Chains A and B, each alone.
Chain A
Amino acid sequence: MRLAVREALLAFRRAPMLSALSVTTIAFSLFAFGLFGLVALNIRNALQTVEDRVEIRAFIADGTGSEATAAALGDIGAFPEAASVRLVSQTQALDRARRELGEFSDVFEEGILPASIELRLKPGFRDPETVKAVAKRIEVYDFIDDIRFGEEWVEKLHRLRNIATLAGLALGLTFAVVAIIIIGSTIRMAVMARSREIAVMRLVGATNGFVRAPFLIEGFLKGTLGGLLALVLAWIALTVINRFVVQATFFDPWMGAVGVLAGACIGLAGSALSVGRHLKRV
Chain B
Amino acid sequence: MSDNLQFIVTGLATGSVYALVGLGIVLVHQVTGIINFAQGEFVMVGALTFALLNEKGLGLVPAALSALAITVVVGVLVERLAIAPARKSTIERLIILTIGASIAIQGITLVVIGTSPHFASAFTAGAPYRIGGVVILRQYLWVFAVTALAVVTLWYFLTRTLTGKAMRAAAMNRDAARLVAVSPSRMSLLAFVLAALLGAIGGIVLAPLQAPSAGIGIALGLKGFTAAVLGGLNSPTGAVAGGLLIGVIESVAAGYLPSGYKDAIAFGILFLVLLIRPNGLLRRASSVRV
Q: Do A and B come from one complex?
A: no
Residues of A at the B interface (CB closer than 8 Å) are none
Residues of B at the A interface (CB closer than 8 Å) are none
